[in-house]
């Protein structure tokens, strides 16, 4: 048995690091006041898209590259990963934006109406052109977090509410670690979960829109997640009428069947981000910090966990190493 490890936080970052180190034979304890993943952590409100190519439209290169192996990692940990790509569409007046999106991203095919009909028949009524991002995948974030939590507990990882940390401490507390990481900020996101039995989308769909960009992720059984706003605010509550109206409007523009959907849930939280919106691993005193996964928690946590594993076991310096947090 290798040296003990204490992880703070049972969000997506904490659980992935726990999985990597527990798998390598360390005795791992996870401290989280809530014991298990849940509504208190922002990964609970994630979309669950494993979409490195789409994210590459805005995100910098490391996000795309580090995110490439996420689907394999999650699958290897027993998560149910749906690997059927994703679709990007734009309303008629924004057609040129779709060309631009294609220029800025990789691994896609352009679909005409017939090809779109074969993939997502409901979209073919409304769109005569789309991009099919062939390499992308999606998961249900809540089932994935709870599943990983259960498997880790079975494998002997201890989950405790509090206690004195033993051995190497790895802080994965997200925004709660702002006390130690002054340049960490919150970026507010609002999302909606709908039950829309008349909608048959089988893969994530992104709507490019100059004002109200939207993605819709199928969760199975006619349930869909609509996301997400991105507001420069650390506020973790208060979904506004304006934001929710924008999300619902965009969904309705994507397909009118969303008009009859039932609103199951409205969620809001803030993503932890550093000024470059890229993730970091760093050390303050004896404590390691893994943070700043921004809107890429499920996409980047596996790569972050691997880097932490290689560092703890072999002393390898991670590429996202950040020397001085102060």
Q: Which residues bind other proteins (CB under 8 A)?
A: 58-60, 104, 185-186, 188, 210-211, 231-235, 238, 240, 242, 273, 275-278
CB nearer other proteins, residue 45 or residue 224: 45
Nearer Cβ to other proteins, position 176 or 223?
176
Of 185 and 255, nearer to other proteins (C-beta) is: 185
Nearer to other proteins, 105 or 168 (CB): 105
For the bound state, the minimum distance from the C-beta of residue 60 to other proteins, rounded and expressed in Å, comes to 7
Nearest distance from residue 240's CB to other proteins, in Å?
8
Give just the sign of the alpha carbon dihedral 216, 219, 222, 226.
negative
d(C-alpha 147, C-alpha 13), whole Å: 15
Residue 104 vs 166, nearer CB to other proteins? 104
Query: In the structure, how many helices (H) and strands (E) does the chain have?
Result: 10, 17
Which residue number, 196 or 300, has a Cβ lying nearer to other proteins? 300
Q: How far is the CB of 62 from other proteins (least distance, A)?
A: 12
Least distance in angstroms from the C-beta of 23 to other proteins? 32
- 3-state class of 185 per DSSP? strand
Contact by Cβ (8 Å): 85, 134:
yes
Is the separation of the CB atoms in 308 and 318 below 8 Å?
Answer: yes
Q: Are 290 and 310 in contact (CB under 8 A)?
A: no
What's the CA gap between 273 and 294, in Å, rounded? 5
Taking phi first (over 0 means left), then psi (-120 to 50 degrees means alpha), and beta for anything else, what does residue 162 get? beta
Rounded to the nearest whole angstrom, what is the least distance from the CB of residue 276 to other proteins in the complex?
4
> Distance (Å, rounded) from C-alpha 249 to C-alpha 258?
9
Q: How far is the CB of 234 from other proteins (least distance, A)?
A: 5
- Smallest gap from residue 174 Cβ to other proteins (A): 14
Which residue has 């791992």 as its token pair? 28
Beta bridge partners of 188: 231, 270
Q: Cα separation of 229 and 208, whole Å?
A: 13
Instruction: Return the number of the residue (188 or 206) whose C-beta is nearest other proteins.
Output: 188
Distance from C-alpha of 320 to C-alpha of 108, rounded to nearest angstrom = 28
Sheet holding 223-227, edge to edge: 108-112, 129-133, 86-90, 205-208, 214-220, 223-227, 185-195, 262-273
Closest to other proteins by CB, 138 vs 188, is: 188
Shortest gap between Cβ of 243 and other proteins (angstroms)? Answer: 8
Question: Cα separation of 221 and 300, whole Å?
Answer: 27
């Amino acid at each position: 048995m290798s040296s003990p490890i204490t992880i703070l936080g049972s969000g997506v970052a904490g659980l992935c690091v726990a999985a990597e180190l527990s798998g390598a034979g360390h005795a791992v304890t996870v401290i989280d006041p809530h014991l298990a993943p849940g509504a208190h952590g922002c990964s609970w409100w994630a979309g669950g898209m494993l979409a490195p190519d789409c994210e590459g439209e805005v995100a910098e290169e490391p996000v795309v590259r580090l995110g490439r192996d996420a689907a394999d990692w999650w699958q290897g940990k027993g998560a149910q990963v749906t690997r059927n790509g994703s679709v990007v569409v734009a309303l008629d007046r924004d057609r040129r934006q779709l060309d631009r999106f294609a220029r800025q991203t990789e691994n896609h095919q352009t679909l005409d109406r017939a090809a779109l009909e074969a993939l997502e028949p409901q979209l073919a009524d409304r769109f005569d052109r789309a991009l099919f991002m062939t390499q992308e995948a999606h998961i249900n974030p809540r089932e994935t977090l709870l599943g990983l939590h259960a498997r880790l507990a079975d494998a002997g990882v201890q989950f405790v509410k509090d206690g004195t940390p033993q051995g190497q401490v790895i802080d994965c507390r997200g925004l709660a670690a702002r006390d130690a990481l002054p340049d960490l900020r919150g970026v507010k996101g609002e999302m909606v979960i709908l039950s829309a039995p008349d909608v048959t989308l089988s893969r994530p769909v992104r709507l490019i829109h100059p004002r109200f960009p939207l993605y819709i992720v199928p969760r199975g059984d006619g349930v869909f997640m609509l996301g997400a706003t991105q507001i420069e605010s650390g506020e973790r509550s208060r979904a506004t009428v304006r934001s929710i109206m924008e999300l619902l409007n965009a969904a309705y523009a994507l397909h009118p069947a969303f008009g009859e959907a039932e609103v199951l849930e409205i969620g809001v939280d803030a993503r932890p981000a550093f000024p470059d919106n890229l993730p970091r691993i760093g050390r303050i005193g004896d404590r390691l910090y893994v943070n700043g996964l921004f809107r890429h928690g499920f996409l980047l946590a596996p790569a972050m966990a691997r880097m932490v594993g290689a560092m703890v076991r072999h002393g390898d310096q991670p590429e996202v190493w950040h020397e001085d947090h102060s």
